[in-house]
Chain A
Amino acid sequence: MIVEDSAPRSAIVPLMEIREVTKRFGSLIAVDRVDLDIHPGEVHAILGENGAGKTTLMNLLAGLLKPDSGQISLDGSEVTISSPRKALELGIGIVHQHFRLVENFTAAENLHLGWNETPRLAGNKDLVDRTHSLAKQFDLDVEPNARIWQMSVGEQQRVAILRTLSRGARILILDEPTAVLTPTEADRLFEMLRGLAIGSNRGVIFISHKLDEVISVSDRVTVLRAGSRVSTLKTVDCNQELLAKMMIGRHLNTQPAPPSAALGPAVLVGKGISARNDRGVPALEDLDIELRSGEIVGVAGVAGNGQRELSEVLTGLRPVDSGQIFMGDQELTGAYPVEFLRAGIGHIPEDRYSSGLVTSESIDHNAVLRAFRDPPIRRGLFLSPAAIKSYARQLVDAVKISIRDLGSSVRTLSGGNAQRLLTGREIAAASKALVAVHPTRGLDVGAAEAVRQVLLKARDSGVGILLISEDLAELLSLSDRIVVIFQGRLTGEFNKYEYDVNTLGLLMGGHPAEIG
């Protein structure tokens, strides 16, 4: 039986008490009368799905938002967190998912930025020396002279944590800290967090939607759902099923989708591809990939290992330094993106708003983004407004979005509907192959499921799909084959029903596979 752990402990004064805190945006209640206690020496996990109110709650504590009602107390006295600076003064330190580090600055510069303990006159050497001693004090491994953009994500995170701790944070809040880490880096982080908390007067708040992490790192866990607190429990009393049920309100479905029915010939093939990222640093090295008709190939990997570059190379958006790209018998190496499109390759880009949709333009403008070159939409040098309208209407109906005015801007669509529109459009364009990057990221459960169904349907009609995702559960469920990408190379390959999550995890972290 589960006993809710909310009884007051007379022995310890909580570090922080949150009572009945509420925050609204327009008509939506993002955080609804939430209570929370943080004790010294504990790692307290806040668990919830996307949209459960985790980030809003954290922004309230960070002073980025102000609560509409409710109280926040520190060491027993009520406080108002009016700004991020105030939060820090109070000893609340946040490590955001995006670390908010200045990319072109060194670790030392970032550490000392906006800090009143930085000496007024300080050259680079002073900053570096101070960084060395701070890193030693908190036992964190940080290279003072390295610039942020040169670091791995794990290193960047350590800089962010060191910065927060150096400024006297007693309550350390981490927002989805493992989303961008390899499993090994994540383990290292957990160890570090436990070390920081245990026996100290510090409290750590660990925000996550990953059940296993919550269980392995936290002392207590508070579950949020749709803005409300569901329960607060001791972690030792929990298991994954229980937390999952509380978090989603239903059982976790990890059933794999049915496998590919008819595997066809190779459609999209990359041979020996090398390419560089936006900074000119090699991102793909001698990578071979083959996508066959009627299959979904999942690409597993930690963010920043070349996924973005791979998707851009395979859709013609990024030039290759060496290697070849084929569509069937047709070589596409060095061709314009439009030729990739003509060859029947669709693309669901990583960032739908800045890469895949013209947000300021109308829905029908966006609907024909791939098809405007062909009749009947194109008539000579001009476009047919009637044909555009009917094409857009068909598309919108096919992906089941109810839109009255096709002339309204894409901005008025919800994230889910915008992604459905984009997915529908790309599937229509993808007669042979589709490169889909994080197609369900940031979507709610219903919209994500709809997008997955559309992908499966396209596969069954013979399209080859390259699915790049950070959501391992999604990859395991949808893929007919999974390849692992690490530092711009494919380091492993598994067929459906043959994956072993532990081996996958090791490969994603760069450890050589020991496959039996």
Chain B
Amino acid sequence: MPEKMASSKQDKPILRLKDLADRNFRGWKIELRTDNPRRWLYRLSAILLGGVIALIAIQLSIGEGNAFERILKATIGSRKGIENVLELAAPLMATGLAAAIAIKLGAWNVGVEGQFFMGAWAAAGIAFALDGLSGPPLLILMFVGAIGAGAIWMLIPALARAYLNISEILTTLMLNFVAMAFLAYWATGPWRDPRSQGAVLATPKLPEQTRLPVISIAGVEIRFGIVIGLVLAVLLTAIFRKSVFGYMVATVGASERVGAYAGIKVRRLLVTVLLASGATAGLAGVTHMTGGAINRYSTSLSSNTGYTGIAVAVLAGGSFLGTTAMAVIIGAIIAAGNSLRILGVGSELGRFGLTGFILLVAAVGEGLSHYRLVRREPREVAGSAHTPLSVITLTEDTNI
């Protein structure tokens, strides 16, 4: 058992001349810390820093033409730009929330993409089968079907993680590839639109009554997905902050062992939360299909929204409300990347490259937040009131 600093007597230190001599140089040292109340600040600075570096790199590499001006125009600089950003953000909100739910338990649902497609698939199937129904009842059925399909697609990974301790990262990801092939089968086979050609495979358009409305605020047209995303985020925040369920998730998320000790049925909770994550991804699929521009079931429906959504949730630190805001930021980044296409920048660079780069920088920022720079100053020796509690005092497993 290590001796504990905190438990030993707090001697009043005496400032000696010798100490001053030892400490009075402007050196810095790096210390490990276990808790950092301003972690989000590190993350935010990292995101901004990553964005600026990326922008400079792009401007330098294309040489001619003003990338910045184009980007501004394509994002927040015009009404059309704002609409474009929000359109890109709409599906990211829901997929981001799906990933964020799993993150609350420290789990990684990398399968959002697949669940998104399975949700859309189920909804499309219902729409084609029951196209005689009027809008509201049909939409409700489609949403229920999509939510269920998303959850079912998560069932095996959830059970495998809870009962066999198999990493959900691999299982959910494998099922994405399965879902993609499954999708390709339906879009090329039974549901193929005879008029669709080339690389994009799609079904005919969905019945007209299944289109979600577009809302206009101050002349800006907003997809219904934004509304669903915001409402969902508020709802999830309330559930996870205020409910017994949320309390249990917070406990198990911090430590499965403590969770079990507290009498929480950890496995059951894990399965529930992962299924909720999958269901939300399914919801994202049907929302995007009925509320987005494509309005049909197609291989290009997602544009990898599921994967980007995970990045959104991570960048938001797993916060639900933060996820909705981050979805808009990432939407803007994607829009920015698209706007540079004419300058020889591929859309993949914006959608993946920039997001990946910023995520990597943010991960480094998060890693850095485990450290602190401590200035070796005489003041520290004097133990003045504003000297932060040494981290070492706070960890049980640090031998002194």
Contacts and interface: CB of A to CB of B under 8 A. Distances in A.
A317 B7 contact: no
B216 interface: no
A381 B13 CA distance: 51
A442 B387 contact: no
Given A26-B393, A68-B22, A69-B22, A226 B4 contact: no
Nearest to B14: A29
Contact of B4 (A29, A351, A412, A415): A415
A365 B7 CA distance: 23
A144 interface: no
A443 B243 contact: no
B103 to A, nearest CB: 14
A374 to B, nearest CB: 11
Contact of B389 (A351, A353, A354, A412): A412
Interface in B371-400: 380-383, 387, 389-390, 392-394, 396-397, 399-400
A185 to B, nearest CB: 19
Given A28-B8, A411-B34, A411-B35, A336 B257 contact: no
Contact of A355 (B261, B381, B392, B397): B261
A405 to B, nearest CB: 13
B35 A358 contact: no
Nearest to B380: A26
B254 A358 contact: yes
User: Interface SS of chain B: helix, strand, loop or mixed?
Assistant: loop
B9 A226 contact: yes
Interface in A108-159: none
A411 B36 CA distance: 11
A383 interface: yes
B400 A382 contact: no
Interface stretch (B142-150, B245-253, B283-291, B320-328): B245-253
B4 to A, nearest CB: 4
Interface stretch (A4-12, A47-55, A283-291, A321-329): A47-55
A354 B257 contact: yes
B265 interface: yes
B242 interface: yes
A127 to B, nearest CB: 29
Given A28-B10, A28-B13, A29-B11, A336 B263 contact: yes
A34 B12 CA distance: 18
Contacts of B10: 27-28
A176 to B, nearest CB: 8
| Interface size grouping (class) on chain A | 35 or more
A361 interface: yes
Interface string B79-115: 0000000000000000000000000000000000000
A356 B399 contact: no
A226 B396 contact: no
Contact of B244 (A97, A355, A373, A385): A373
Contacts of A414: 4, 6-7, 393
Interface in A31-89: 50-56, 59, 64, 68-69
A496 interface: no
Report which residue of A24, A54, A365, A441 has the largest number of chain B beta carbons within 10 angstroms of its beta carbon.
A24
A416 interface: yes
A337 to B, nearest CB: 5
Contacts of B393: 25-26, 28, 414
A383 B240 CA distance: 11
A372 B262 CA distance: 10
B178 interface: no
B3 interface: yes
Given A25-B400, A358-B251, A373-B244, A51 B387 contact: no
B265 A336 contact: yes
A28 B400 CA distance: 11
Nearest to B13: A27
Contact of B383 (A27, A69, A349): A27
Nearest to A443: B7
B258 A358 contact: yes
A370 B399 contact: no
Contact of B261 (A356, A361, A447): A356
Contact of B399 (A59, A69, A338, A447): A59
Interface in A321-372: 336-338, 340-341, 347, 349, 351-361, 365, 369-370, 372
Given A55-B2, A338-B263, A355-B258, A444 B8 contact: yes
B231 interface: no
A30 interface: yes
Nearest to A448: B7
Nearest to B254: A358
B294 to A, nearest CB: 38
Contacts of B263: 336-338, 340-341, 370, 373
A379 B348 CA distance: 50
A382 B7 contact: no
B3 A54 contact: yes
Contacts of A226: 8-9, 11
Given A55-B400, A381-B244, A383-B242, A25 B392 contact: yes
Contact of B262 (A29, A351, A370, A447): A370
A356 B258 contact: yes
A499 B65 CA distance: 90
20 contacts: A55-B400, A59-B400, A68-B19, A69-B22, A179-B1, A226-B11, A338-B263, A347-B261, A351-B396, A352-B396, A358-B250, A370-B262, A370-B263, A372-B247, A378-B244, A416-B7, A442-B2, A442-B3, A444-B9, A447-B7
Given A25-B392, A383-B242, 5 more contacts: A26-B380, A26-B390, A56-B3, A358-B251, A383-B243
Interface of B: 1-11, 13, 18-19, 22, 34-35, 242-245, 247, 250-251, 254-255, 257-258, 260-265, 380-383, 387, 389-390, 392-394, 396-397, 399-400
Q: Lowest 10 A-B CB distances belong to which pairs?
A: A27-B383, A51-B8, A338-B263, A414-B6, A26-B390, A415-B4, A444-B7, A358-B254, A353-B396, A415-B7
